[in-house]
A and B are shown apart, each in its own frame.
Chain A
Amino acid sequence: MKDYRLLDLLRRSRTPHENHLIDGLVDGRVSRREFLRYGSVLGLSLPLLGQIGAAAGLGLMPGSARAQAAGGALRVAVDTPTGAIDPVKTPDVGGLVMLQQTGEFLCMDGQDLVLRPMLAESWKPNDKGDVWTFKLRKGVKFHNGKEMSADDVAASLNRLADPANGSNALSVFKGVLSKDAVRKVDDLTVEFHLDAPNANFPYLVSSDNYNAIILPADYAGDFEKNFVGTGPFKLEKYTPKVGASFVRNDDYWGDKALLDRVEFTFFADIQPQILALQGNQVDLINQLPVLAGAGLLNDPNVEIISIHSASHYQIHMRTDMDPFKDPRVRRAIALSLDRDKLVKGLLRGRAQPGNDSPFAPVYPSTDTSVEQRKQNIAEAKQLLEAAGIKSGTKVPLATQRFQEVPQYAQLVQNAAKEIGIEIELNVMDSGAYYGDAVFGKSTWLDSVMGITDYGHRGVPNVYLSAPLRSDGSWNAAHFKNKEYDTLAAGYVAALDLEAQKAAAGKIQKLLLEETPIIFGYFYDHLSAVRKGVAGVEPTAMSQTFLARASKK
């Protein structure tokens, strides 16, 4: 039952973009899940989204489960951070998990990929989508006792956007947010003046951008000393290469943490983490690669938390080099892969098939009406013949020794063999594969064919630009297509979910035709907890939020 009177009431004082989204929900063009996700990006609060959903007859927001027991300590196994913990520079999983234990973001991108307010209470774009205004939460205190204000937020994000700071987040903000483009309006309001309209900008200042925790304005680069942040836990002790412990912050602005403490133990590899979980020395493995962790998937003492994500491996093919100059050859390789088998066999079902574009099934803007590419050996052989490729043609494939990538490369090799292409594998250390990570000095960017790991992003914007645009800095396929560039820019700017979907559909079709990159599957993020542990909230970015965690 739709309650139109209530809907009318709720529609008042909403912007045209917001009302268009509400219309979409009422007419059934937009699903409930899409509505929640995209409404959250536009800055509609979750209670309001819930009310609108209820008025449209679609039920309420899923309630978050409340853990019962309080107190105690939780022991977490995590990869050893590769360097100093510094919000500006940290690039690795171990480091980003440390950042978010005490640090908080303007908004939080949770397991369902719906944005929730964190240090910002609400946010709104202007009509064009190139200025976003964020209202900050009042009464938030840093662990050093100082109150958080717009100055701190502006300084934190301007610091990340400044090319002089060696910032790891610069690649996220490039072409979106320049240095000093974050301006204080009043003590609790900041404006982001973007380089170009960007409909999904809030994701870039959410937990998705793991460097973007809010620090005091006078941060001096010494985060490791005190882990100063605003979060539900504060630092007890940090020892590089060994571990860290945090205790409950009783001055926290929100619901206080349930646990008294959390203890992180650093591990250099996944195997010892699995043994430590089985030997009851840790309660939680932050990130479990499916292949190494296969033994835990059916362990009755262990619970696996599985989240669909956009993490994937890109198989690039040099569009400016033989034999891949001809798009038919690239399509033929893509058609040789049996994606369902990959998902079932290699990934133990913990993945979703890809359709050779960055539009993963998790994104609400993905056009699901575009046909899924399936294995078709006959068609692949025809394409190769039409392109004049002889059976037995040799192609080198370079890749990194990382998780299941070597096994994936072998399966690609076997599939290509079926259509008469001989792939010669060159599997190397990740450091050697990436090299200097600039054109001319990197196996990754210079190889004829390669497989590269791409971590999760809450929106596909980065995947659409750096690896695919003509001027993209990670364009290993050397794909240069003006039509694509225009479509991608159009997608990023489209403020309306339906306009985004329409643009996505066109991009998906173009990429299926051109296939500069094979997106074989998008793998789930897995965490493992011992039975009796509840309320752990991992994210697809490999973060682990523990404020609601408890242990029997």
Chain B
Amino acid sequence: MQLENPAIVAFILRRIALSLVTLVLLSLMVFFGGQVLPGNVGRAILGPFADEASVQALNQSLGLDRPYIVQYWDWISNFVQGDMGMSYAFRSPVAPFVLDALANSCKLALVAFLIVVPLGILGGIVAALNVNRPIDRIISLGGLSVTVLPEFVTGIVLILIFSIWLDWLPVTATWPEGAGLGTQLYHLILPSLPLFLVLFGYIARMARAGMVEALDSDYTRTAVLKGLSWPTVIRRHVLRNALLPTITVIATQTGYLIGGLVVVETLFRYQGIGSLIYTAARGKDFPMLEAGILTIGVVFALATLAADLAYTLLNPRIRLGAET
């Protein structure tokens, strides 16, 4: 495998530039889209029954009586200098909220990943090696069935079983302050399970499909015929080809696992970035909303970049820079 280094650097730079454009567009959409929604910030903070005079006084003190374009410019020019701004609702800097939530989300996503990725791939391999046998049916059908169950259903059932009846795991995922790694992990097992159920079927099916195709291919037959041992064939020829689509799937799920877990975070009472964005959107807390969404945007961009790089590492046929 020979990588052309200048090409890969150019590729990364181009991807970063594209991501920046995407992020700016995203921030514009969030800001101006939010202005179209009914209600205003002061009203969202003080509630429907506050006097209009109070609402206007509050909007004025937050600088929201200025033209939208001025507000946006003010916000983005600070943002690019590393100042995420002040939350309208919480009247304190946004950065600690977003960074804490991001750290929490990453921890939960990591635990879920560590459980679901190896098991999903393993499930796919086992299914593929036993195509159309009962074990394959169980993995494929079972995985698909639990994928369609909503997280709030599986979440409640899991809490009832493991927390309330068996009393093995805590109901809420938020660990006591200053807890060590072990305690944190202990609190994250239960909320990871609904995510496992959602993703297992997906990843296993992708891995199975890739495996089946690779097992059926000419190069596998060639490898077998030239006398390589079966495990070597699987490792060197089948898996390397079979896992490419699975990696893409896993990468696209990173965004969901970090930013899209509003239901799981609410049910397990976990301060992740998904619910941070959700409440900020409902409360029209734009600095918080923008910071949260852009953070997720960066995570998405990094995840896809990582997937592309992993792709090239696994598959030397893909030449970066489009010169091939």
A and B assemble together:
yes
A→B interface (CB under 8 Å)? 80, 82-84, 86, 89, 91-92, 163-168, 170-171, 174, 224, 240-242, 265, 267-269, 271-272, 275-276, 278-279, 281, 429, 431-432, 434-438, 441-444, 466, 473-474
Could you say which residues of chain B place their CB within 8 Å of the CB of A92?
47
Contact B51 A443 (CB under 8 A): no
Q: Which of B145-176 contact A (CB under 8 A)?
A: 152, 156, 159-160, 163-164, 167, 170-172, 174
Could you say which residues of chain B place their CB within 8 Å of the CB of A82?
45, 89, 279, 283
Bound Cα distance from A276 to B89, whole angstroms? 27
Could you say which residues of chain A place their CB within 8 Å of the CB of B156?
271, 275
Contact B47 A272 (CB under 8 A): no
Given the known inter-chain contacts A83-B89, A166-B55, A473-B51, please indicate yes or no for A432 contacting B37, CB distance below 8 A.
yes
Expressed in whole angstroms, the minimum distance between the Cβ of B17 and any Cβ of chain A is 35
Given the known inter-chain contacts A167-B54, A272-B171, please indicate yes or no for A91 contacting B38, CB distance below 8 A.
no
Expressed in whole angstroms, the minimum distance between the Cβ of A19 and any Cβ of chain B is 38
Q: Which residue of A lies closest to B174 (CB)?
A: A242
Contact A84 B43 (CB under 8 A): no
Could you say which residues of chain A place their CB within 8 Å of the CB of B39?
431-432, 434-437
Given the known inter-chain contacts A83-B89, A435-B39, A443-B38, please indicate yes or no for A174 contacting B269, CB distance below 8 A.
no
Contact A272 B266 (CB under 8 A): yes
Given the known inter-chain contacts A164-B57, A281-B172, please indicate yes or no for A438 contacting B52, CB distance below 8 A.
yes
Contact A240 B92 (CB under 8 A): yes
Contact A91 B50 (CB under 8 A): yes
The one of A165, A279, A466 in contact with B171, judged by C-beta atoms closer than 8 angstroms, is: A279
Contact B267 A271 (CB under 8 A): yes
Bound Cα distance from A435 to B47, whole angstroms? 10
Of the listed residues A241, A265, A466, the one surrounded by the most CB atoms of chain B closer than 10 A to its CB is A241
- Can you list 5 A-B pairs, Cβ within 8 angstroms, ordered by A? A163-B51, A171-B49, A431-B282, A431-B284, A437-B50
Given the known inter-chain contacts A168-B54, A276-B171, please indicate yes or no for A436 contacting B43, CB distance below 8 A.
yes
Expressed in whole angstroms, the minimum distance between the Cβ of B92 and any Cβ of chain A is 7
Q: Which of B79-94 contact A (CB under 8 A)?
A: 88-92
Q: Which of B268-303 contact A (CB under 8 A)?
A: 268-269, 271, 275-276, 279, 282-284
B-side interface residues, number (CB < 8 Å): 50
Q: Which residue of B lies closest to A429 (CB)?
A: B282
The one of B54, B89, B91, B172 in contact with A272, judged by C-beta atoms closer than 8 angstroms, is: B172
Answer whether residue B305 sits at the interface, using C-beta atoms and an 8 A cutoff.
no
Bound Cα distance from A84 to B288, whole angstroms? 13
Contact A89 B46 (CB under 8 A): yes
Could you say which residues of chain B place their CB within 8 Å of the CB of A170?
50-51, 53-54
Q: Which residue of B lies closest to A237 (CB)?
A: B177
Answer whether residue B61 sits at the interface, using C-beta atoms and an 8 A cutoff.
yes
Answer whether residue B201 sits at the interface, using C-beta atoms and an 8 A cutoff.
no
Contact B269 A272 (CB under 8 A): yes
Could you say which residues of chain B place their CB within 8 Å of the CB of A432?
37-39
Contact A268 B42 (CB under 8 A): no
Contact B159 A279 (CB under 8 A): yes
Contact A89 B45 (CB under 8 A): yes
Answer whether residue B48 sits at the interface, using C-beta atoms and an 8 A cutoff.
yes
Could you say which residues of chain B place their CB within 8 Å of the CB of A275?
156, 159-160, 163-164, 171, 267
The one of A91, A163, A267 in contact with B57, judged by C-beta atoms closer than 8 angstroms, is: A163
Contact A163 B53 (CB under 8 A): yes
Q: What 12 additional pairs, Cβ within 8 angstroms, besides A165-B54, A276-B269, A279-B171?
A: A83-B89, A91-B45, A164-B57, A166-B42, A265-B269, A267-B269, A275-B164, A435-B38, A435-B39, A436-B40, A437-B43, A443-B38
Contact A434 B50 (CB under 8 A): no
Q: Which residue of A lies closest to B152 (CB)?
A: A271
Bound Cα distance from A213 to B267, whole angstroms? 33
Bound Cα distance from A437 to B284, whole angstroms? 15
Bound Cα distance from A224 to B54, whole angstroms? 21
Contact B49 A272 (CB under 8 A): no
Given the known inter-chain contacts A163-B54, A166-B58, A265-B269, please indicate yes or no for A474 contacting B49, CB distance below 8 A.
yes
Bound Cα distance from A80 to B174, whole angstroms? 14
The one of A168, A241, A267, A281 in contact with B170, judged by C-beta atoms closer than 8 angstroms, is: A281
Contact B55 A91 (CB under 8 A): no
The one of A171, A278, A441 in contact with B50, judged by C-beta atoms closer than 8 angstroms, is: A171
Could you say which residues of chain B place their CB within 8 Å of the CB of A438?
52
Could you say which residues of chain A place their CB within 8 Å of the CB of B174?
242
Could you say which residues of chain B place their CB within 8 Å of the CB of A444?
48
The one of A265, A268, A279, A436 in contact with B275, judged by C-beta atoms closer than 8 angstroms, is: A268
Bound Cα distance from A435 to B284, whole angstroms? 12
Could you say which residues of chain B place their CB within 8 Å of the CB of A443?
38
Answer whether residue B11 sits at the interface, using C-beta atoms and an 8 A cutoff.
no
Expressed in whole angstroms, the minimum distance between the Cβ of A464 and any Cβ of chain B is 15
Contact B89 A431 (CB under 8 A): no
Expressed in whole angstroms, the minimum distance between the Cβ of B212 and any Cβ of chain A is 41
Contact A168 B46 (CB under 8 A): yes
Could you say which residues of chain A place their CB within 8 Å of the CB of B43?
434-437
Q: Which residue of A lies closest to B285 (CB)?
A: A83
Expressed in whole angstroms, the minimum distance between the Cβ of A298 and any Cβ of chain B is 16
Contact B171 A240 (CB under 8 A): no
Bound Cα distance from A432 to B48, whole angstroms? 11
Bound Cα distance from A89 to B88, whole angstroms? 12
Q: Which residue of A lies closest to B269 (CB)?
A: A272
Q: Which of B165-218 contact A (CB under 8 A)?
A: 167, 170-172, 174
Could you say which residues of chain B place their CB within 8 Å of the CB of A278?
164, 171
Answer whether residue B72 sits at the interface, using C-beta atoms and an 8 A cutoff.
no
Given the known inter-chain contacts A91-B46, A165-B54, A431-B44, please indicate yes or no for A272 contacting B97, CB distance below 8 A.
no
Contact B44 A168 (CB under 8 A): no
Bound Cα distance from A140 to B282, whole angstroms? 40
Could you say which residues of chain A place their CB within 8 Å of the CB of B167?
279
Q: Which residue of A lies closest to B62 (CB)?
A: A166
Contact B54 A166 (CB under 8 A): yes
Could you say which residues of chain A place their CB within 8 Å of the CB of B45?
82-83, 89, 91
